Amino acid sequence: MGRAFLAILVGLVFLPVASGAILVDTGKPTKKFGTKSTTTRISSSSALDGLSLRQERRMGIGLATAGSVGILGLNMELNFVPELSLRTGFGIGNGYNTFHLEVRKMVSGTWFVPYLSGGFARWTGNGRTNMEDVTPGFLAEKFLTQEEVVSGRFSQNMIYPALGIQYFQLKGDYKGSSIYAEVLMMIDLDDFVAAPTGEIGYVYYF
C-alpha cells in the first residue's frame, strides 16, 4: 500500500513536467508552470514563411554569380515591405566591372517563394584585356562592337526582366539564410539586342 501511494505521489509530481515537455514540442503558448519562457523562445525563433521572415528582417547581403553581376558580385537588399524590395550590387568579370539596380516583387510561398524582377545594369570595360573570349560570351558576340572587343574599353547599359525562385531558412541556427536561382533577359539599350542568361546567389537577412 505504501509503495502504491509513493508511486502515485511521484506521478503527480512529474506529470506537469511531462505535459510541459509535450507542450514545448507543439510550439504553442501555455500557461502551465515552467513552460512559459521555453515556448516563447521557440515561437520567436522561427518564421511562418518567407514573407514573414522578410517582414522581420529588412536588410540582406549576399553573393551572386553570373546574371547581372557578370562573373561574381556582391548584392545588398532592402525590403520596403515583405513583397517588394530594392536590390543593388557590384560585380567583376574578366576585364570589366559591373553595377546593377533592381526592383524585386515576391509572390506568396512558404519555404520556396517565386519572384519577378526588373533592373538596370551597367558593365564597364577597363581596357586591360581583349574581350574576344570574355565570359559571358554574349557580351562580345552581341553587345560590343569589334573595336570595343579589341580595345577592351566599353560602357554597356542594359535593362533586364527576371523570373526566379528563392528558398528561405525559416528557423534554427541558419535562420535568415537563403539561396535563389533565376533566369534573365539582358537587353542592350543601344540597339535593343537581347541575350538570355541565368544567375544563382546566396543572401543572408538580418
CB 147 within 8 A of CB 125: no
C-alpha–C-alpha distance, residues 69 and 56, integer Å: 27
Higher pLDDT, 132 or 166: 166
* pLDDT, the chain, mean: 82
E strands, 46-127, are: 59-66, 72-81, 84-93, 96-106, 112-126
| Count of C-beta atoms within a 10 Å radius of residue 85 | 21
CATH numbers and ranges of domains, the chain: 2-44 (no CATH), 50-205 (2.40.160.20)
pLDDT above 70 (res 9): no
The predicted-structure confidence for 90-131, as pLDDT tens digits, reads as follows 999 989 999 999 999 999 888 999 999 999 999 999 888 888
What are the two backbone dihedrals, phi and then psi, of residue 107, each rounded to the nearest 5 degrees? Answer: -110, 160
The predicted-structure confidence for 53-78, as pLDDT tens digits, reads as follows 888 889 999 999 999 999 999 999 99
Question: What mean pLDDT is predicted for residues 5-28?
Answer: 38
Q: What SS3 state is found at 151?
A: helix
In this prediction, residue 44 has a pLDDT band, given cuts at 50, 70 and 90, of: low
